[in-house]
Each structure stands twice: as structure tokens, then as C-alpha cells.
Structure 1
Amino acid sequence: MLRRLHSAPGLVAGLIVAFMAITGSVLSVQPVMDHFAVRSTTVAMNVAALANAVSTHLTGVERIVHAASGAVTAYYDGGKGVAAALIDPATGAVLGDYSPSPIFVFFTELHRSLFLGMNGRFASGMSALALAVLAVGGMLLLVKRLGGWRKIFVTVKGTISQRLHVELARIAIVGLLVSSLTGGYMSLTSFGVIASTSPVGQFPASVDGGTPALISSLSALQAVPLADLRELVFPYAGDPTDVFTLTTASGQGYVDQATGALLNFTPKSVGQSIYETLYMLHTGQGLWWFGALLGLAALCVPVLAVTGTSIWWLRRRNQIKVANNAGARHADTVILVGSEGNSTWGFAQVLHRALVNQGHQVHTGAMNDLATAYPAARHLLVLAATYGDGSAPTSANRFLSRMARFKPHPNLSFAVLGFGDRSFSHYCRFAQVSAAALAEKGMDQILPMATVDRQSPQAFAQWGQDLGGKLGNALALEHVPTFPPTISLSLASRTDFGMEVQAPTVVMRFTLPKREISHWWEHLAFGKTMSFQPGDLVGILPPGSPVPRFYSLASASGDGELEICVRKQTGGLCSEFLHNLQPGERIQAFVKANPDFRPRKGISPIVLIGAGTGIAPLVGFVRHNDRHRPLHLYFGGRDPASDFLYAPILGEAIADNRLAGLVTAFSRIVGGGYVQDRIREDGAAIRDLVSSGAQIMVCGGDKWPRALSKASIWRWPP
């Protein structure tokens, strides 16, 4: 429900909301320009002195207006109608003619009413409401995804569009809420739903009517400092019975031009005070820096509209249709899917197809579609992803509430397979909760709950074998994820290591091709070349296999080449293919962003720990350490004469201060010791680095410390 509430207004009103945001951002420039155009003064001039000075310089003055920006404008009889002049607030002297900017006049009317009168004002008000709904809904979705308000600022995973959408929303959310809510309030006042003005005080029944005194001597005007003035309307020339109309920050009244007495003063109403405050917040008039921030926030809206539409379109495109889907009441096997981004549906489709091929009548649906009963079913298989930090995904957020009316028959058994990411503290939490809820219904478990980490095809295939064994079927579950289109890359050069120590390793450099762009959207999606950073992943498709193998990148796209480091694995389809590759030969590959494996921004120290080929992305970080932040590298190999990977580059980095320190461990050198022992010995120094904000980054096999037995420690510099 929350996602639909967030998506629907965005898709329906996205264009007009983006348009209103753009016009609003243009208008936010006006208070900034007004602020810097107004002469600042510390002179405490009162209204009587100002009005007297203005009337001395200009004849036929009708009124003086003091704007929130501090600008003072006098309107007078120019001979051919009313003219306007800018006034020096310190002296009352005329600075020059005044005329409003035609650009801001145009955009003001466009923003308020689209030049459509009251119908346009209604559309403007509705766009403000839509923006408020989008902002609130998006904020609640983000909180749900991240696992609570306390984690609102943690790093977000996902595609470029998803990350950009979230980061911009976090930056702009407060400004967008202020703009939308204040804009909605002002729209309601324009239709009279909310009062925005104070009642006008009754015109004085009687005035002195004597000879007008000098303006500078009028006591009521002397008592008002210029800072409090909003508007002063002069009496009609030659009419001693007319009065000054004085509007200040606190209300409105009349001033007798003969005696200087304040007559019939009416205090400003609460409604007008609220309106003026919200008007200031919405327009930035009188609060120019806040208006500038609102303008910057408004500029995020068009980008949010584009990225939001992209996220919605990708979600719709990735929806999977299940073939041969039996009815829920007649199926002998029911598969229920809990998914956030539709990836779990791909696994469900593979399972569905395998069971159908074994002769089962299978129904696959969302966990939210849990029926009251499945009369013919014998097996209930639940594939449940976990959203964010332990929450239910979109297609399963009503599953637990529906369990209250679920009545399984005695012969129905179940199995739960959880999908998640072990980097989250509540790994597969929702799957665990779902399994417990099903067990409470008294059903037998076909298998203990299993998990799939980061969409591992191998873990899924193993679960299929275990399930097939229990069902009496041979289930070969080969899930092939959907990957981006590949690009052909030519091997430019290679450097071989490790032959002498039976650990063949090769550093490979591929030329980046220029990509021909035929559509504007391709340019937005791909640019002119593949775009990547050190630590990102390249997926390589070996001949004869649709499943890519991923390798960490040691280069950035700005280097002009794609560099990886590959160790040959006996029987490894892709590693053997790459080790046999010669310069000029080609591979099919694509790049996958890996934003979770990046140095944090700033200049705090980083401790880099890499084993074998795991040094590749770490070397990439060192290469691009142009700010010379302290990087301390621990590297483990077998023999410095055979597999000291990237030795020349590391030596150069030490020399030019891109690398602060290097500790190496080679297991085939006599001397003994382990890399982890040296880390332990350097523990005090590392703790000091961490206490000063250092980041620790590790790359290599999960069991790399055990592989570095009998390590001899080489330090650089010696």
C-alpha cells in the first residue's frame, strides 16, 4: 500500500510537479538578488523621517513600500501615470527608477496559476499536495527499507538510479516538505478556505482637519522604526480630512496628518501572522538564504522524477510471468514468493518449471496471496526474501496477518528458503519469522530452513537437490540471473606470475572500446565508454556457459583500460579460459557496480588487507590516491621472486606518498610467521588508526589467513 501510494502520485503528477519545482527554483533566485542589491545600513531611520525625505525628493508621493528584502520603493505621480523609484533606506534619497523584472513577473504567474486563472491555481495547489504525499511516502519507504529511523543515513545499496534517488531525496526531503506544505497552505488561502488577512480597521469617523503638519513631526510616524514598516499610504493631496494609512509588522491604523495621532489601530490577526510566516518560508522573501536552499531542493525534483520513473519501469519490466500455473485449489504443490525487486521470482520460476517437468500440478503466487486453505496441496514451498534490515518485502508484507485465517489440512507440509545478504545484521530474518509462523500451524517441515546468500545459484541448486531427495524427484535447479548486455573487450597485454610456486596468476589489461551512441537514453545509461571504479566487478562469460564469473577491478574507466588479476583454478572454466587468452583475443563482459567496497570519502587513514589476487582492487585504490591520504597495505603471497603482484607499482606509490606503508608476507620463504600474526603485532598501531577514523578493507578468499601459513614478513620501507 505504501509503495503504491508513493508511486501513483509520482507517475500521474510527476510532470507537473517537476515543472512547478523548476519554476519555483527560478523564483528562488529573486530574494537572493534582492538581498545583494539592497544597500545595507545601520542607521535607525524612523518612518516620519523617511516619508519626509521622500516627499522632498519626489512630488505627488502616493505610497511607500518596505519589502521583506529591505528594499524601499516609493510610488508617485510621474505625470503620465504612477511611477516608482528605489529609495535609499539610510537617507530617503532617490536611487533610480524601479520596475519589476519581467522575467520574475512571468515565472511568478506561471508558478502560481500556469496563466490559467483560478483553474491554474487549483492545479498548482494539487501539485503541492502530490509533492507532499511523495515526500512523506518516500521517507516512510526509506525508513522501512533501512530498518528504522536510526538508520536513516546509512549507505543504500541498489542500482545507480536507486542510489541516486535515495541520496537526493535525503538531501532535499526537508526543503520539499516545507515547499509543498507552505504552498498548499497558500493555495487554500487563495480560495478563501483559510483566512490570510486581518480585518480592516474602520476609517476614522472624525479627524482634526487642520493644517497638515510637517511629516517629520508626526508623532505616530516617529514612533515606528523603518524595520517595522510594511506600507505607508499618503493622504489625498489637498484634502485635510484625509489620513495616512500605516501598515506595520504588528497591524494597521490611521495617522492624522495635522496632529500626528494614531487612530483606530487594528492588531494583526493570528491568521495573517501565520500566512506571512509561511509566505516567507515558501518564497524566501526576507529569508534569502533559506529561499536559496529551497531552490536547490526543488532542482532535485526533476531528477527524482526521472530516477523514480526508471525504478518503476525496471520493476514492471522485471516482473516474471509463470507459465503453466495451476489453480491454487487444484495444485498439489504451492510456491509462495516474497520479493522486493522481483529477483526472487526468477528462482521461483526455475523451481516451478522443474516441478512441472516432474509431473506436479504447481501453483506459484505471492506470499500476500496466501489462501485460507489449499485442498489438494501436499507441499507448500515458501521462497522469502528479506527487505532492508529484517522487514517483509513488498509481495509478502501482508503474509503474517493472513496467517491468522490460514487453515492447513493435516497432510500439508512446508519448506522455507530464505534469500538475503549476509552483510545485513538480520540476515534472512523475515524468512525465519515466516518459517516459525508456519510451524505454529502444526505442519511438518519437509526440510529445515535454508538460505541463499546474495542470490547464489550454487546454494539454490543444493537446496533443490535436498528438496528433490525428500519429494522423491530429481530436481536440477539451474538459475541463471538476468545480466546487463555484454561488451566485447580485446586483451591489450598480460603479465604472468606464480608459475614457479604452482600458483599461476595473470594480470590482464583490456582495451576499452568507444561505444557508439544512437539514442539519448543510451548516453544517459552507458556514456561513451563503460564506466567503473576500482573495486567494482566485471562479469565475464566464459565460452559454453551462460553464468558469468566476477572479478574485482584494479582500474577505473578513466585509466583507459579494464584491469583484473586472475589466478588459475584447476578445472575452473573461466580462469582457464582467461589464462589461455592471448593479446588481441576478446572476451564478452559487463560491469557491475560494487558501491559497498569503496574507500569512504575524506582523508582518514585506510588499512588495506589483501591475499593473492585480492590485492587487485586495493592497488586500484592506491593508484588513485591523489590526495595522499594514509594508506597502509598488508599483502600475502608465496614467493617475492615469483608472485609479488604489482611490486613496481607499489614501489612507485611508496616513493610518491600514495602508499604510507607496506607489509608483505610470503609463505614459501624461510623465516616463518603469518600475516595475521604481523597484524596482531601491529595491533596497537592499527587500533590507533581505527580510533582516528581509519577504515579497514579486506579483499581475498574468505579463508585467506589459513592459506598464508609459515609467512615471512617483508616491510616496505625496510
Structure 2
Amino acid sequence: MSTPTIAAPPAPRASTPSPSAPLPRAGARQRNATRRSWPGWKQVWFQLHWFIGITAGTVLMIIGLSGATISFKDELLDLMNPGVRHVAVETRATLTPGQLASMAAAEHGQRVASVTVYAEPGAAPRVLFAPKAGERRGESIYVHPYTGATRPALQGAGFFEWTESLHRWLLLPREPGRQVLGALALCLLGLALSGLYLRWPRRPLDWRTWLTFDPALKGRSFLWNLHAVIGTWCLVVYVMLTLTGMYWAYDFVRDHIDAWAGKPPRTAQAPAKPGQAREKKPQAAPVVIDTTVAWNAFRQRAGAWTLATVRMPSRAGEAVQFTWLAADAPHDRARSTMAILPADGQITEDKPYGQQGTGSRLVSVIYPLHMGTYFGLPGRIIVTVASLCMPLFGITGWMLYLGRRKAKRAVAAQRAMLGAGAQGAHVSALPTLVAYASQSGQAERLALESARALQQAGVPVDVQSLDQLTPSQLSQYERALIVASTFGEGEAPDGARRFARLLGDSKAPELRRLNFGLLALGDRHYTEFCGFGHALDARLRALGATALFPLIEVDKHDAQSLADWSQALARASGSPIDAIGHQEAASYDAWTLTRRVLLNAGSQGGALYEIGLSRPTGRQWEAGALAEIIACNIDGSEGLDAGGSAPHAPRSYSLASMPQDGELQLLVRQERHQGDTNGGYGVASGWLTQFAPIGSAIRLRLQANPAFAPALTDVPCIYIGNGSGLAGLRSHLRARRQAGLARNWLLFGERQRSVDSVCAQELEAWLQEGHLARLDRTFSRDGEPREYVQDRLRSAADELHAWLRDGAIIYVCGNLQGMAAGVDAVLLDALGQDGLDALRAQGRYRRDVY
């Protein structure tokens, strides 16, 4: 019995809800019927699956490997013992079973219970002696078919007996060992069925969904795909091995099956306990009965056969019992039986396999199914390979489990660093609040680094995100240091919008006891540079708070501004502070421009290009990440504008591909403007889409984007975007596809279907294969009234609510002022302000808009 753990899906991120059951495939707009799923049940099954997998699964690996070892035991023994069980074929006749029994009994002084002979020329017969007192089974030897001489003992036989005992009883005493194996078989059945349920695809009749393995995957996605897909390949074999193994594990199972098959009840065959052995009687000389007449009658009646076991009578008058395998038998346990009187050859019983009852024949296939011999050599190979795969499932299951633990520890470690630093702080002092409002994660990183620096200086701190804070809670502190990003044109980051709204309310509490310092992050190429930081500074002052120092602005990791922040922290703490943000200025790599393809020739909007870049060795990223690029001038000069004065500010683009795609892909809208500056093209878009020669180096660095992090767990996801915003959504959908997660709904808007059907072939293929549960594409210039993506979302409000009830995460990528604002308004109408705030607080409304 060989067994695996199957299909452990990847673990949820800290910011995502628990997994839920898959939604039915809805398809296009018209196919919008949904059914309720049961996220609680799926989470329960997932927890049971991994718990059983990392406990019983470890022992099941031993069962699998030992089962594989004994699958080809006979062949291996023959390789290790050439000439023992097969001798040179001679022209003379072989000895009869009776002659072999007489010679073996005389040589070894024991009664022969049975002799098994083979029709294959040169095959050595096997002689089995009667068991001695207190034993269940007697010894066996192989003898020469032409001389009757005892063959040498098989080298390695002891190892295979030990391995079989390990496989059947885990080297425990027989009875408790069988009970343990039965429990493990039930665990395996639970793993198999729960694994099947956990990875049940949206299109179950599509074999590619079940059996396709992508070797190009990396990391956790590779492990999950290997675990789930190979597990599906082996699933039927493992269920078959489990169910057949339970026949021998539990007496009540075997007794019920045997009774149904019409077999007589079994008698206890366990050896007598110590002290209870039957009294030994003087051993009489073995009785030798001539079975030649019975043997000749059997050969005449049986026809063609491959092996025959002859059970020798123990006393005069008993019939000789024959169990034999016909040459045309359907499997190796399709045995016929015959009883013949040795004196006159009269046949008293003849039960060919084909004439036995249906129940008996069904019971006879249990062992061949378990060993794979029912399907011949291919079946044996399949069972052996499936057994050898057992470590793969155990190891990948453990790696997935440890990966989840490692990710959780990494998150806890960041907080623990703060907690450890607090031990050296003056515990009697009130803590300083270090708060942050972050969109891409930069503000959070700077806040954590600032908090650690303060702790090292002996200042106790509390670290909070503004999305978890209220003005009333803020009023409890005497000192606060805030790192605030600005999103879009002067707006608060998504997570801080609730706090900003409450702070701006007329009922907001006074903050007269609060002293604060503020670090505002922004980008000068936006009109409202550090707009949210300035608005927050003004509102805190209006509520009576006192600024510790003037607001500090940071433009795209400006080192001097970060140094000013470090000095301000030093003054606030009264101790030297190491430079904050020195890790932010990561160097730019040289990526090679390999291709650019115009995707929307003839579009009313700006030209949209797919840009391909070959990556430096070792560069990895996750879905939702950004590429920060420094453009060159038309003539290829780096870093300075056309006038040769100020450096070009870096531009950020959403990544449209995954590392497994073999290149970094961007979707870049070519910006055009009036004037001669840069030839009338946008600085970065013009360089990427028009001027940079193919094969040239592009200065680029990858930037993590935690606020737009992917959900690589089994939760439904709604992706909404327009134009070049498809880039960020495409990387998410590709990552979800690599992870086997198909509960995805894409709403995408453009101008005209005829020329703006960007990536249409890829999207339609995803829809057909079930990776997209629903695809809604709107084209605003194709009819009146114009329909935009937010309009399509509003019309699908019922399905939106159903997906959100199932724990869906919403991702928005594209234009801030048009599409993103429209989507925000639809969600506000559908959920109300409190509902929308809750969605943001749960990390289920993630935006990458510009």
C-alpha cells in the first residue's frame, strides 16, 4: 500500500481573507448566474489536509517507498541470485510433485505441505514444509526440477521479508501493526479526497486543467503545481491502494467482504501466546502418499496452465488439492481449484475460475489491484512509479507548509524587532506614535526604519498604519511622527482615506496635547506635490496639534530630504540617529530592450506598445510590482533633460509579465504634446516607444508594490482596468494562472473593439479554458450612449455583491481621474461609506492608478 499527500494549495497572505469555495464559471456578461460557495468548509478541509499531510504523511512516505521496493521483488531476487530459481533446461522429464515431496521430506526430515511447480521450462519448483508447533507458516525451499536437489538459499530474501513487514505492519507486532496501517489508509483516503476537492477546477471536463504541468514555474508556484498536478496523476492509484489495503488491515472489513462473496468464516491463525502452546507430541515419521495418479489426472483435466500448487494429503484417504492458474487467466490470482483422490484419480471437486461465484472472483482481484498485476506489466510499473512519487508529495507538502510558516515569521520578525528594541527603552515614558499612510509600501518601510532607530536611541514607540487608526486614538498620544505618501493628484493613499475623512469631520477631537512631525512623500512631476502630506499637516495644526519641525518633503527617495528627517528624529529623541532611507536608493540595472510591438494601430487614443526587456541574471518580481525607469534623450544621452540642466525624474510602469515569461513586459502609452521639446514626445514613453534602439540598455530598477500585492490563494478576484492599466492586471492573472487559481473576473475598457482589443487572443483563451470565470470588455466609442467599464460594473451589481460575499478582492489599475474615480463611485453606491472603508481596511480594495 503506497500513499501520498496531495494538493496543498498555497497559504493566504496576511492581508487577504480566508480561502473560499470556487464559483461556477460564469463566462461573458450574459452568463452571470452564480451560486453560493462555502468558504468556511473549504478552509476547514484545507486545514485538515495540511495537518494530516505533515503528520501521517511523513509515515505514509515509508509505506510508499517500502511498497515500491517489493513491487518487483521476484525480479530483483533473480538478479541477485542467478541460477537459483531458474536452471538450465534439460531434455529429460522433470520430476513430479510427489517425487519432489518425497525427496525433500527425506532430506530435511519434515512433512511437506505443498509443492508449487511451473510450466516454464527450467523453473525451480518451490516446496513448502508444514508449520512447526506455534508457527503460522512453515519454511520453504526451491529444488532442482530434474534432480530434486535443494537449491541455495536466496541472498537478499531476508531484506525483502523485513521490507514487507515494514510495509504491512511498520515492524510492529502483527495485530497492532495492522490497526495502525488501517488508520493510515483512512488518512490517505482523506488526503486524496480533500486534495481533489481543494483543487476542483471550474471546467472539470477539460483534461488540461487537471493534468497539465508547467515546468517553467518557479518558487512556491512550482511547488504547488508539482504537488497538485502530479497528485492528480496518481490520485486513482492511491485511492485504489488505500481501499484494497484496508481489506487486510481490518478483520471486520475482510469478514464482511468474504461473507458477501460466499467464503466460509476465517478461523484465528495467530500463533499461540507464550505458555499457551499446545503440548508437544513425539513427532512421527512423515507420511508419504503416492500422488502420481492424481497428478496425471490433473494434467489431463486442467489443460494449459502456468503454475500449479499441489497440497499433499497428511493422511491416507485424503484427496490431493490442486490450485492452479490457467494459461489464459485474466490475472495472477484467477486461480482454479481441483480435488483428486490419490488412489484411483477420481475427481471429487472441480472449480474452474470462470465458473466460480461473482463474489469470489471479485475478492480475487483485490491483491492484483493492490500490486498492479491486474493490468499486467504496465500496471506494475504504474503502481511502482506512483509509490516512488510518495516522497515528492511529502517533501513538497512540507516545503509549502514551511514556506507559509516562514512568511508568517518574516512578518512577525519586523514587529519583533520593534518589540525587542522596546526592552532597552525608558518604559516609564509615554510611547511615541510612528504612523504611516502608504500606497506602494515606501512609507511603511521608512516608518519601520524610523521606529527601530528611535528604539535604539531609547525611545519607546508604537507603530500604526493610519488605516487602523482613528482621530480619537491619535488624541491619546503626546507625540507622533507620521510618514505620509501622496496618491495621484494630492489624494490620500487608499488605506488612509477613512482616517482623512474622519479627521476632516467637524466632530473630530481636538489635538492640543499632540506634538507631531511629518515626512511627506511625493513626486514633483505631479501637480499637487506631497498634497496629502500638506493637507494632513494643515488639518493637524487646525485641531490644535503642535509641529515639532516644519514638514519635510521627499521627492522620489531624495537623499537630502531623508537626511533632514534623520536629523529631525535625532533632535526629537536627543540621541544620534543613523541615516534613514539609505536602503531606498537602490541602484538601477541595465536591462536590454529586446522588442516593441504596436498593439492598437489606428486607435483614436495614443499608440499603445508592448515593450519587452531581457532581465539581468537573478532578477525576480511578483505580480503588481513596478518598473522605475530613467529615460534618455533623443540622442541617447543619459540623465539630463534636453537643455542639459536638471536630471530626468524616473517614471514608474506597472509590470505586465512574470519572471516565468522569460522577459519583463510593459504596456506603454505613447504620450504626445505640442512643442519641440523631446520631439513632441513624452520623456520616458518617447524613449521606450520611439527612440531607444532595439538592443540598447534601459536603466531600470524594480520596485515592490505591497498595496497592489497579488492574492495567490483560493479567493475570488475582480480585476478592473482600462487602457495601459491592463498591464498590472495581466501580471496578476498570469500569476494566478501559474498557481492554478481560476476564480477571476476581468472588466476592461477601451475605445473601439476593431482596433483596441488589446491582448484579445490571450484573454479569450483564458476565458475558454476557465481561468477567467467572467470577462467583460467595454468599448466606449462603439455606440451610444457610451459605456465605460464603471458602467458595466454598475450593471453587474448583483454579481458584484455575490463575489464580495465570497471574500473577493478588487484590483483596479488604470486612469485615476476617469475610470478609477468612476469605479470608486460605483463601489460607494453599492456598499456605502462604511462598507467601502471596511473593504479597504481588510486589504480587499487594491489600486494601482495614475
TM-score (norm 2): 0.39
Larger relative contact order (Cα-Cα within 8 Å, sequence gap ≥ 6) = 2
Larger radius of gyration: 2
